[in-house]
Structure 1
């Protein structure tokens, strides 16, 4: 359900690079290429930071990724990372959680920490199982 994953070239565990980690895992791109791509999008759309919601939305649109939006109860998602993994045992996804992105590949969350109990707001569908 969870596997440690950190593609940072220097092994840094700095916060605020979860978007880069998730995109690296599902696309196979290297960390620095993802960083350049996100910063290019940030500059093109005039966003404040590469991890802004608007940058993620634009990346998903440009990449042609599908999207799954989950039911919420008030401000809380009705689905957590564990449940998502059980219900999606095959395919590649980026799960968007409050203030966090994580890669899910074939039912396993890849990240520097186990976020499987966090609520999933929505998900980008990178590659669905056939």
Structure 2
């Protein structure tokens, strides 16, 4: 019991606000693997439908112009961003929105930065986690769920708007 109370008082929770990036308002329903679209829409202050369509076009272009395993996978499952998005496609798109990539983890280094307001800079961030992207603005997480795992979730890197 004491360990639980100690953890409760020493946890590094970060403020969270529910936000779907305009997905529901745009008429999209049901579950989807669209965290990339949502995070970009929120942090870049762009309409969900604009980001969705831009990434759909980027996925389709990748399929046409590349001849690798990812292109074959995108071709097989479809180029819709609701099916998930790959770093090889979304990275350049985010950079074109005026963000800069800041890696926080190197191979073999272990976790150095966690999804916590006191470990990340203020400003508009798109934070890359294991199998997830989330938006963080001035220390507040904006997403459809709190992905921080009580401040223990490791951050691979983040895009910051300048």
Under TM normalisation by the shorter chain, which class is it?
0.7 to 0.9
Which residue matches 2:97?
A: 63
**Equivalence map 1:1-130=2 (5 Å):** 1-6=15-20, 7-9=22-24, 10=27, 12=29, 14-46=31-63, 47=71, 48=74, 49=79, 50=81, 51-72=85-106, 74=108, 76-82=110-116, 85-88=117-120, 90-117=122-149, 118-127=153-162
**TM-score for the superposition, normalised by structure 1:** 0.82
CA contact (8 A) 2:40 2:94 kept: no
CA contact (8 A) 1:95 1:123 kept: yes
Structure with the bigger percentage of strand: 1
Task: Give the length in aligned residue pairs.
Answer: 125
CA contact (8 A) 1:41 1:58 kept: no
Q: Which has the larger radius of gyration?
A: 2
Deviation, 1:86, is: 1.6
CA contact (8 A) 1:88 1:106 kept: no
Structure 1 unmatched runs, 5+: none
Structure 2 unmatched runs, 5+: 1-14, 64-70
CA root-mean-square deviation: 2.2
Deviations 1:45-97 (A, max 9, x none): 22425411111222133234211111357485322211xx2234520010010
